Amino acid sequence: MNTTDSDMSLQVPGQSDPRRSSLCSDDGLLDDGPLWQDEGTFSSQGSFYLPDSGRLPTANKDDSSQLSAPVIKMGWLDKNPPQGALYYQRRWVKLDVDYLRYFDNDKDVYSKGIISTAFITNVTSVGELKFEVVTNNRTFIFRAESDAERNDWVTVLQDIRGRHRHSTINPGSPLVPDYQGYLELRGLRSKLYTVVASDKVFLYKNIDDYRIGVGITSIEMNVGNVKDTDRRSFDLTTPYRIFSFVAESEQLKEQWVDAMRNAIGEALSNSEVAERIWMEPSNSSCADCGAPKPEWAAINLCVVVCKRCAGEHRGLGPSISKVRSLKMDKKVWTEELIQVFLLLGNKRVNSFWAANVPPSEALTPSSCSEERRRFIANKYRQGKYRKYHLLYGNQKELNNALCINVQCSDVLETLSLIFCGADVNCSTGMTSNPSPLSLALAHSQPLQAELINHNLNTELPGSSESLPMEPEHYLPAPCVSHNGFLFKTASMVRAITERKVKDEFSRRWCMLNDGTFSYYESDKNSNPNGALKASDIVCLAVDPPEKHGYDYTFELYSESERLYLFGTDDPESHKEWVKSIAKSFIPATAEPLLRLGFERIGRLKCKEGLNLQTSKVGWFALVGSTLHVYLGGSQGEEIHLRKLNELSIQQDNEVLVLVEKGRTLYIEGERKLDFSGWCVAIQAAAGSGGDTLSQQQLTETDIPIIVHSCIGYITQCGLTSEGIYRKSGVNSRVAALCERFRRDARSVFLKEGEHQVDDVSNTLKRFFRELEEGLFTSQDSKTWLSIAANQDESMKISQYKVLLDKLPRVNKATLQALINHLYCVQRFSELNQMNLHNLAIVFGPTLFQTDGKDYTAGRAIEDLIEHYTLIFEVDEQQLKKQLDEIKVIIQVREKLNTKFPSTEPGGHFICTVYLEEKKQTAEQHVKIPGAMTAAELTYEVLDRRNIPVKEKEYWSCWEVCDKEEMERPLHYQERVLPILHSSGSDSNLLIKKHLAMEAMLVYLASKVDPSKHGMMKFREERSILGLGLSSGNFHDRYFILSFTSLRMYKDVRSNRPERDWPVKNLKVYLGIKKKLRPPTCWGLTVVYEIKKQEKPERQQWYLCCDTQSEMREWHATFLSIQYDGDVWCQDGFQQTRASRVLPDTRHGNVSLIPLRGSENEMRNSVATFSQDPLAIFRDVR
């Protein structure tokens, strides 16, 4: 240990753990590998001068590829301690434009000293081989090994100094500090002045050193992780060292942690994930073949692999290997996942995966695809080379070991357990943490949780189910044989986007025989140029004629992601080939598909319904706008693509989601090439097909989406607009809107503020006016008009009814929806001035596409509106309900307008509801009408997913608040919309079973009256100086809950309550956020809202019970009082379900409007609508 270099070095007591901070002493330094793996080689002896070419690289803080400025010069120098001791110490010195740093050796990551170049005032040569670096009040003397070397250093340093001469120097230059102050670093006697600036943390001996730009070291936060450890202390963990800091107070600790986390955030947004992952040296070569700089990873297997190996990983399917790019799939790379990869690294992971690789089977970077495929399948699908866990084969022991191990930090052991058969979904036997995942989280092991999370559905190596396809699909192809000449292009790995001219094709003799399709140079050759096994064909696409140089072409897609294009000029030959090839690879179970005139046929993996765990093989054929599907052994089904509720590509282009009435189908992109072809084709087929009514994109109830959207929008935003439908919109905007609907109506979301009422109303009119064949059909419209001329009312009505029944299905549904809408419009004519007559004048000529010279057309429309209920046989009750809802909409809008007279978008009432868990595949998008209750929402969602409700299953709708770590089951009669309005963007609705409900009901049944008293631990959220910081602890208090109020007493004997709350204003949530350190896990978070005249007041406090049953009893009592004993629907839910009478949300029954937008947008816009005015929803039944 050296004591003379005391200007920089801080003395530390001996440390037992070398990874704990032992900064700056000459011993106990890091011995990990070098941080800087700069390009080129650097001799560890002499020093290297990076040619300067006359200008210095400027440090660009926005450059995302590098965190530190590039190194200008580095090398070994001897440094003289400033005190002037006679001997020198050997230091590794590194210079970039911002800092001169010196290290104990060239492997160190953290310097012993760092000097901001901005503070260097002079650099001069002194004596033999020496030079001085002068700062304001300190001089550093260095000695080089040669004169030339010394002169080099002096030149570059002077050059840099010159650059800084005219810039102003602030403390911390060149960075602006984000947060600074003294922090204790565990193990040091004195505190360090610590500065968080941008993406780095700097350590200085004291504030004076900071002011003169001379520090100890800087820490790059792109490799950092900040962990709360104790009241005042926290760890900054990097792969090279753990810095354990202690702040001066708990409150300051929070601020330090926040500041450092922000710095990490900044570092991450600046740097590539790849750079970080490669920080672990073994990650910089492929785990499978050793190729350098691998840019892909299998995130569940925890290996970093090269592109070619990644391709083979993909071939295993996502249930075995989840392949993600380090560079492109940014979203998946959470901090935890990155830490897992840094912690494990290819080397350690391979000690498991590749423990027994025979040298003859090992891959090299130049191995061919075939070898790679075999090796990777052996390694991960079969688990052939893995190191068997001692408990292998003993399921129970494996599960036990897993449960125990996830509580500690040994992630490699968890990996080993999982891939040797431990069940990640096994039961831990604990009610509080039923799964290994929850156990890991409860023990603050986020890395364990991350690993488990990515392996929840992984197929285990070697298990028989892990074959990618059921063998039946590989049955020998039926005996199809066919041969003849075809023209073929070179096979491709990318989709064909351009036209292939005849020159690009070559004539080939093709043969389909014995389940193999092969092509030859000519019919004389016996060796094929190439062959494709029928079982390797995954898709056959038939091009429209004349797409390429040869008029009739088709594409074949192979399992190994190649695309073959064949063509001919003979339509008959083309047809024969398509038929034969399809027959060769489509299994007997999906045989009916072969009879269709498909444009595309093949197999895809997909999931649906309740079984989202395992995917099935489905056989698909696309014919026009209909997708024909055979799933597993089931009967064939048809999906009408133009009628989908939703069609989207999710999860980084890997899943195509088709939502239709009653079900959702997830088609997985097992292979990229054919999948993207399917996506394009399906999306195109789901678009509108022409200008007649039935060719439009339709709703489930057969109404064109354009009509549905416009009607919905007008109902929401235009019913009070004076002269609605008579006033004209802005022509260019109307034309643009029509065009957008024509292109893809499903993607048009009308929004108030973005779209004008009159533009929308005119879009609707223009649609009907320009509709090919018209709404009343060209064949029958004259008859409709002739009836209108009739005088006898009742006669007319029955004749209209006859004609109505003659209309095609889509026309009939559309007419009903429109007349229903117009009926509603005129019911509010005192607001919009559009009475029956006015509407008829506008819509007569529009719908009958006449010139409007006589009133016959108007007369007909007048009749239809006036006798709407009779002609369309409308249920009066239903109609009344609809009108009531409209009244609510109008009232809400009035309130909005008086309160917020801005053009804020008013109502985007579609929301995302999750089923059982919050993840994308469990998402449901539901329109929430004002009157919808929690029970109705629950059953809407269950119905959609065809989930039956069994006896004693208490499905409920929960309001889940992630930020506060609390959740609340909504009362079954509670209106959903106000909840959405008042909850923040970090809340969501989740449909799941209320597991405690049975126990709660039993408890309540045993009580004479709902009341309860007893001790609970109480903590209040108090705001300090209005900053919203919480303080205080949990204290024992005595509570009495009865009829109207909850009273809190200091203890049992107290006479006067300390507090008294009206029960009906309390919202009781289950759970308390962990940050508050609740003494037990049976906590309730209580929100108290008082709606005072102007300023709503909100308090939040916490109650903690000793046992789960205590908590349930309190909760049950709260609910019972709040809902007058009606805690659960007594008649059972079937009735609620029945009474819902399939509320036809498309028409007839007006739903609040479908303007989708993002959920946050919706919430933000309605958040302004404060809590209070929503009382209105509760008043309307």
Contacts with Zn ion by CB under 5 A lie at 286, 288-289, 291, 306, 309
Question: From start to end of 544-654, where are the E strands?
Answer: 552-558, 563-568, 600-608, 611-623, 626-631, 637-640, 646-650
Q: What is the CA radius of gyration of the chain?
A: 36
Secondary structure (3-state) at 477 = coil
How many angstroms separate the CA atoms of 602 and 587, rounded?
10
Residue of 628, 682, 689, 635 whose CA lies nearest to 655? 682
CB of 76 to Zn ion, least distance (A): 37
Residue of 691, 708, 928 whose CA lies nearest to 817? 708
| Tokens coding 358 | 């025979």
From the number of C-beta atoms within 10 Å of its C-beta (0-12, 13-18, 19+), residue 898 rates as: exposed
Nearer to Zn ion, 286 or 656 (CB): 286
Contacts of 1028 (CB under 8 A, 6+ apart): none
**What are the beta bridge partners of residue 1169?**
none
Secondary structure (3-state) at 51 = coil
Distances in Å between the alpha carbon of 687 and those of 639, 642, 737, 744, 1150? 14, 6, 16, 6, 25
How many angstroms separate the CA atoms of 838 and 843, rounded?
9
How many angstroms separate the CA atoms of 25 and 8, rounded?
9
| Tokens coding 1125 | 């004993």
Phi, psi of 655 (to 5 degrees): -135, 130
Please identify which residue in the block is written with the tokens 């799939």: 329
Please identify which residue in the block is written with the tokens 């070697």: 462
Q: What angle do CA 258, 261, 264 make, to 5 degrees?
A: 155
Nearer to Zn ion, 310 or 1103 (CB): 310
CB of 928 to Zn ion, least distance (A): 50
Task: Locate all alpha helices (DSSP H) within 247-394, ordered by sequence.
Answer: 250-270, 273-278, 307-316, 335-353, 369-376
CB of 372 to Zn ion, least distance (A): 7
- C-beta atoms surrounding 135 within 10 Å: 19
**What are the beta bridge partners of residue 303?**
298
Pairing of strands 89-96, 323-325: unpaired
**What order of strands is seen across the sheet that includes strand 323-325?**
303-305, 296-298, 323-325
Taking a C-beta distance cutoff of 8 angstroms, is the pair 856, 744 a contact? no
Taking a C-beta distance cutoff of 8 angstroms, is the pair 375, 361 a contact? yes
Say whether the peptide bond before residue 177 is cis (omega within 30 degrees of 0): no
CB of 328 to Zn ion, least distance (A): 18
Nearer to Zn ion, 289 or 941 (CB): 289
Task: Locate all alpha helices (DSSP H) within 419-463, ordered by sequence.
Answer: 436-442, 446-453
CB of 307 to Zn ion, least distance (A): 8
Secondary structure (3-state) at 605 = strand
DSSP letter at 483?
Answer: E
CB of 1134 to Zn ion, least distance (A): 58
CB of 566 to Zn ion, least distance (A): 33
Nearer to Zn ion, 104 or 295 (CB): 295
Q: Which residues of 209-227 are buried (b: 16+ CB within 10 A; e: fewer)?
A: bbebbbbbbbbbbbbbbbe
How many angstroms separate the CA atoms of 245 and 447, rounded?
22
Taking a C-beta distance cutoff of 8 angstroms, is the pair 607, 624 a contact? no
The backbone region for 363, taken as left when phi is positive above 0, alpha when psi lies in -120 to 50, beta otherwise, is beta
Residue type at position 260 = M
Terminal C-alpha separation, the chain: 82
Residue of 560, 590, 593 whose CA lies nearest to 578? 593
Nearer to Zn ion, 93 or 309 (CB): 309
Residue of 349, 318, 196 whose CA lies nearest to 258? 196
Nearer to Zn ion, 299 or 439 (CB): 299
Please identify which residue in the block is written with the tokens 């957008």: 740
How many angstroms separate the CA atoms of 1116 and 1004, rounded?
7
- The full length of the chain comes to 1181
CB of 454 to Zn ion, least distance (A): 20
Distances in Å between the alpha carbon of 1122 and those of 109, 1039, 1065, 1089? 62, 17, 9, 14
| Tokens coding 1144 | 């036809």
